[in-house]
A and B are shown apart, each in its own frame.
Chain A
Amino acid sequence: MTWTIIVLVVLALVLWSFYISWRASRLDRLHNRVEAAHTALDLALVRRAAAASELASSGLLDPAASLLLADAVRRVRQVGPAERDLAESDLTRALRATLGDPDFRKEFGGGKDAGFQVAADQGAGELVAELDAAGQQVFIARKFYNDLAGRTVDARRRPLVQVLHLYGSAQQPEFFDMDDAMVGEKIE
């Protein structure tokens, strides 16, 4: 009689430990995915800044617009993680103000009586397209990252995870909030 109880208890313990191990490894995978998404977001931001920097020094924009853009890019490069969202938002605003100007889009396509030097039209078109694409990538990467961050935060909050400290030394991911409304959208 007692043997049955012992076997049952041992079995329950074994099953319980498998379950915990499974939960822990799920959580682990989630953390890994969030980290990968963060890296992707970081890369997208860096690419956007690089493309903006190229546009600023290209001579396609008037010197005032070039200076504004270069200033925003410089800030993004210099700022620490705590202020990054602010600096990136400012870069978005600078991009909207310069690239998003409907007259810029019109004129640089036309060429005649342009208020600024126009580099080889193909080169110009490519630069702007690259910047548009980079902006879009940032938007998407951020969406995916924040989604995963949210899920990770929720998973960490579950009672079992909290009590058993299943997340170990993994940091809680932070949301990344910034203004990344795509260039070309009319924002008032």
Chain B
Amino acid sequence: MRIGIACPYSWDVPGGVQQHIRDLAEALIELGHEVSVIAPADEDRPLPPYVVPAGKAVPVPYNGSVARLAFGPISTHRVRRWLKEGNFDVLHVHEPSVPSLSLLACWIASGPIVATVHTAMRKSRILLATMPVLRSALEKIDGRIAVSEAARSTFVEHLGGDAVLIPNGVATRRYRHADPLDGWPGEGGAGKARAGKGGAIGFLGRMDEPRKGLAVLVRAFELLAPGRPGLRLLIAGPGDADEHRRSLPPELRDRAVFLGEVSEEDKVRVLHSVDVFCSPNTGGESFGIVTVEAMAAGLPIVASDIPAFRDVLRGGEAGELFATGDPDDLARAAARLLDDPARRAELSVAALDAVAEYDWGTVARNVLSVYETVVLGRTTVGITQ
């Protein structure tokens, strides 16, 4: 198939939507399809061969902050030309309700259009959804995809019609193998955990956001560490570590390693430096991508019993669930895993199996079925006159 994808945000700026589009495009190309992505981009920077730049994004106030978006006569002209020359079988726009290229593409194009919504639309934006010019552009969407339940409600309530739920993919191959960090596993790290001794527990995420649950893990570590010589804690992510460090008794402080923010590469190495991965989130997760990444690394998981994790861990088959916010229960569950290498191996296999569902290859195939559904009996994508 010839697939045209519209990206509303600057390609050179890191962001969830851009990352998603990049991964999707590459997965589709790997499956043998022709893909072209139009996105605002700085033409001086090198771009992947499948990206067509549509000019620089302009910083404008939108939705309570400053967003870099592409609109106006030049962007309109570029989108029009891209659609004319592309001769696509299907147009796939992302975040169509954001005032940028995706919306312009919907407006200009005729033919099969699929849209993916990444974020839930706030209730305050309902009024805007009733603007005629916006409505008529969005009504042309034939196939709707949402990456989360919350995003799906946007379609159902505001943009008319139900959407297929296809969560974000994870490039599982990237996580499968890596060298541990320098100095790890050492005495207390991957593979060294056995009954009553050694081992390491890992955590990735914002240290100072209470809902990420690091405090719960630190308390559990305090309970586990005295009776388990060599046990260490390895933590990476943005935020201020001081409070957590100070909350530990002095004799345990050097057994908890706080790395701060790390690169993508090092993130994978962190995962391969520990025996067990902990997701102690107390709430607010719609998907739990960090947990999925840890599973893709083949790690046994111990996670709070919140719906997102219960889902991803197949109700406890692919990982241990503990009572949300309860350090004692977490300590018990972690101890069980640290003492039992056979159980860890079992969970590792189960995790890798569960995570295949989220692999980008699988996700891309699901997206393709949506494409195939909407192109049935239709002409290729053209422009309205």
Chain A bound to chain B: yes
A contact residues vs B (CB 8 Å cutoff):
56-57, 59, 62-68, 70-72, 74, 90, 93-94, 97-98, 101, 103-104, 106-107, 114-116
User: What's the least CB distance linking B91 to chain A, in Å?
Assistant: 15
B71-83 toward A: CB 8 Å interface, digit per residue (1/0)? 1111111001000
B contact residues vs A (CB 8 Å cutoff):
58, 60-63, 69-77, 80, 99-101, 103-104, 107, 127-128, 131-134, 137
Chain A residues whose C-beta falls within 8 Å of the C-beta of B127 in the assembled complex:
74
Chain B residues whose C-beta falls within 8 Å of the C-beta of A103 in the assembled complex:
72-74
User: What's the least CB distance linking A180 to chain B, in Å?
Assistant: 14
- Rounded to whole angstroms, the CA-CA distance of A101 and B56 in the bound complex is 13
User: What's the least CB distance linking A93 to chain B, in Å?
Assistant: 6
Chain B residues whose C-beta falls within 8 Å of the C-beta of A59 in the assembled complex:
132-133
Chain A residues whose C-beta falls within 8 Å of the C-beta of B75 in the assembled complex:
62, 64
Across the interface, A64 reaches (CB within 8 A) one of B61, B69, B80, B132, namely B69
Chain B residues whose C-beta falls within 8 Å of the C-beta of A115 in the assembled complex:
73, 76-77, 80
Decide: A68 near B128, CB < 8 A? Known: A63-B133, A115-B77: no
A65 touches B71 (CB 8 A): yes
Chain B residues whose C-beta falls within 8 Å of the C-beta of A71 in the assembled complex:
62-63, 99, 128
User: What's the least CB distance linking A26 to chain B, in Å?
Assistant: 42
- Rounded to whole angstroms, the CA-CA distance of A144 and B107 in the bound complex is 44
Chain B residues whose C-beta falls within 8 Å of the C-beta of A57 in the assembled complex:
131-133
- Judged by DSSP, the binding face of A is helix
Decide: A67 near B131, CB < 8 A? Known: A62-B104, A94-B61, A97-B60: yes
Other A-B pairs, 20, CB within 8 Å; known A56-B131, A67-B99, A68-B69: A57-B132, A62-B72, A63-B99, A63-B133, A64-B70, A64-B75, A64-B100, A64-B104, A65-B72, A65-B99, A67-B128, A71-B63, A71-B99, A97-B60, A97-B71, A97-B72, A98-B72, A101-B73, A114-B73, A115-B76
- Judged by DSSP, the binding face of B is helix
Chain B residues whose C-beta falls within 8 Å of the C-beta of A74 in the assembled complex:
127-128
User: What's the least CB distance linking A64 to chain B, in Å?
Assistant: 4
| Pairs A–B under 8 Å by Cβ, sample size 11 | A57-B133, A63-B104, A65-B71, A67-B99, A68-B71, A71-B99, A72-B61, A94-B60, A103-B73, A103-B74, A104-B73
- Rounded to whole angstroms, the CA-CA distance of A173 and B73 in the bound complex is 43
User: What's the least CB distance linking A92 to chain B, in Å?
Assistant: 9
Decide: A64 near B103, CB < 8 A? Known: A97-B58, A97-B60: yes
Chain B residues whose C-beta falls within 8 Å of the C-beta of A98 in the assembled complex:
71-72
- Rounded to whole angstroms, the CA-CA distance of A90 and B65 in the bound complex is 10
B61 touches A66 (CB 8 A): no
Across the interface, B103 reaches (CB within 8 A) one of A67, A93, A116, namely A67
- Rounded to whole angstroms, the CA-CA distance of A51 and B104 in the bound complex is 23
B76 touches A116 (CB 8 A): yes
A66 touches B72 (CB 8 A): no
* Nearest neighbor of B80 in chain A, beta-carbon distance: A115
* Nearest neighbor of B79 in chain A, beta-carbon distance: A115
